[in-house]
Amino acid sequence: MVERSYKYLNEIELNFVKGIGEKKFASLKKSKLKTINDLIRYFPRTHIDRSKVKLVSEIEQNDQTYEVTIFGTIDKLSVFTTKSRLRIATLTISDESGSLKAKWFGPQYIESRFKEGDVVAVSGKPEVKKTGSIEFKNPAIEKFTDVEELNQTGSLIPIYKKVEGMTSASIRKGLKEIINILESTKDNFEPGLFDVLPSNIREEYSLLDRFESIKKIHFPKNENDYKSARRRLVLDEFIYLRSIFANLKSKHKNENKGLVYKFTNPDIEEFVKQLPFNLTQSQNSAMNEILEDLKKTYPMKRLLQGDVGSGKTVVATIASYAAIKSDYQVALMAPTEVLAEQHYSSINEFMNKDQYEIHLLTSSVKNRDKILKNLKNGNPGLYVGTHALIQESIKFSNLGLAIIDEQQRFGVEQRKKLINETGNIPDQLVMTATPIPRTTALSIYGDLEISSINELPPGRKDITSHLIEGSKKDNDIIYDICKFHLKRKSQIFVVCPFIEESEVMDIQAAENVFIEYKEKFKDYKVSILHGKMSFDEKEQIMQDMKSGKIDILVSTIVIEVGIDIPNATLMIIESAERFGLNQLHQLRGRVGRSDKQSECVFHVSKKKTLKTISEDGKRRLEAIVDIKDGFRLSEIDLEIRGEGKVTGTSQSGQSDLKIADLRYDYKLLLESKNIFDQLESEDIKNLLFEEAQILFPNYFKASGTT
């Protein structure tokens, strides 16, 4: 007899399962559920705990602080729109003991998903009124087509994310059929599911076997069943990641030959000596790690992460110098023109530009002939630019070092193009000013070595942060803070609301604020900066800001990273509740770059208070005011937003994690390392990697590109 495995199940399509006809199969395929593997790893988003189920008549005052569930039939459905255009959908639901109302506020379109006569489960905190009537507000609701099905489950009923054309009930039935087959000896198979982890490791770490974990994640008898199953499956996902990255690192080291560098230690010492400041201990450590990597027999793949203003650019400049000194070309790619221009300007200050070629290449730069000729001829030098560096006409003939700044903003293929343009694999240095928690670093940068700069240059003062609401009185407080800074001959940034996917609206918002400040501060020079301006316009504004000709610069999000104006001591962020936590931290880091005391004002949208913004918005603002450490803030951002958005998976599609959650599973992440390190058998490691390739396909689509 042979064992069924993930590999085997990945080859069996779901229309093989009894009860899943062509119509249901078509619906499942639309949700990327094609094989048995896909469905058994389509984990429930929640379970309804039958122990918390009550009859309507049993709900009392004490239940208002707990979540309860009622099963009933929809008797009536109505939708009402208030004068302020708020939609309220109301369902009247009854069971054999009585009835209650459930209300949903906002565009949830309950009426399109449910109808009178439907049997539903409703879960939430009930509100018991003095009259005895009961209401749920925005509860979770789930439809049950067959009431008898409820009596056939354990105490926890799995609820699945919506699949168009399917109900949770039909998904449950499909899974029960699959589990019945896996438990059988049908077609001469062993019951169960092949488990790649040896029994001695499962015993040592008290882990369920693979089949039990699959069975109990979907149909647990109690909470302990669910927790044990989840623990095993989370560990599996983290172990797969470790297997993938161990293989990527090994492949990279074995298959790619490193370039030969000619710089010497005295060369570097002399270069560092001529810098206008002393390096911090963190900068020195990061520099040494990078230079050691350059000397290795395989190409460098390293992440340089550091908080805002920690001095990553100078470390990248030293690495660039080492490459140019060794007669190679260096490409530094930044996500925006403003940031590319800032890097170009900073590096010009650090390097002796008369001795070394430094070029700026963005879409706004018109005179390119000399630059393109240098690239083609292989002339050593530093080429700073945006995505313009990867256009068809740009050919690096001697690329030794590729530096990618804020790499999560580039698509996978864009990064790949820069890195693979030449026959030789260049050394790669990825930089980010968004500190990444170690928990997340595994899933995004697992095949990179990591250097961290975790201290600020000496002489910097802490930035004082204020959270100010949006009333007229609050606006006046902000104007008073502005006057205080202007009297000290300091400059001010005012950053305007970020409205997703609408640069036009961003600019309109900035223009309104610009008019407001221009009117309020007639005796001062107020300017505006936004992404639609030409290179020359932006360059002129930044030069005027640097030379002190502008007192207040109103800007869209384009100044988020890289802008360095030491005399700017006040940052005002308008509609601060609309920004992500890391963005707020980046923006705050645009001030506090000298020994002058700096302040940052987080200003809630006009006419709004902390009570009227979203709960997440409130959490972000409270965190940013209380916490200065970017690494700690990134952990909180992870808690608020979840792993997918933080890792940029909406852009790159890299996250294949189905159940592991980096917000809560840090201990299991560490445990997965111990387990992986204990796997000594090459056969087991090969089988593990084979499964990882099946279950984590997106990591392989993007391999070699981070």
Q: pLDDT digit string (tens) for 420-450?
A: 455 678 999 988 877 666 555 655 566 778 8
Tokens of 10: 């990945």
Within 13 Å of residue 674, how many CA atoms lie on the same side as its CB?
Answer: 9
Q: Which of 337, 338, 276, 353 is nearest to 311 (CA)?
A: 276
Express each pLDDT in 625-644 by its tens digit: 998 877 778 777 767 765 44
Phi, psi of 95 (to 5 degrees): -125, -165
Which range is least confidently modeled, 20-24, 232-236, 584-588, 642-646? 642-646
User: Which tens digits make up the pLDDT trace of 479-525?
Assistant: 999 999 999 999 999 998 754 444 555 456 788 899 999 999 999 99
- Identify the CATH homologous superfamily for domain 46-159: Nucleic acid-binding proteins (2.40.50.140)
Start-end ranges of CATH 2.40.50.140 in the chain?
Answer: 46-159
Residue 183 has a pLDDT of 92
Q: Which residue has the tokens 């919506």?
A: 162
**What pLDDT does 630 receive?**
77
- In the chain, % of residues over pLDDT 70: 87
Residue extent(s) of CATH 3.40.50.300 domains in the chain? 265-295+311-432, 464-627
The C-alpha torsion from 68 through 69 and 72 to 75, rounded to 10°, is 60
How far is CA 673 from each of CA 35, 686, 693, rounded to the nearest angstrom? Answer: 30, 17, 19
Pairing of strands 68-81, 2-3: unpaired
Diameter of the chain by CA atoms?
88
* Torsion angle in degrees (nearest 10) through CA of 646, 649, 652, 655: 130
Residues 520 and 247: their CA atoms lie apart, in Å, by 61
Mean pLDDT over each residue of the chain, to the nearest integer: 84
CA–CA separation, 605 vs 573, rounded Å? 10
The residue among 342 and 689 whose pLDDT is bigger is 689
| CATH architecture designation of domain 464-627 | 3-Layer(aba) Sandwich (3.40)
Note the CATH number of domain 265-295+311-432: 3.40.50.300
**Residue type, position 287, single letter:** M
The answer, as to whether pTM is greater than 0.95, is: no
Higher pLDDT, 68 or 206: 206
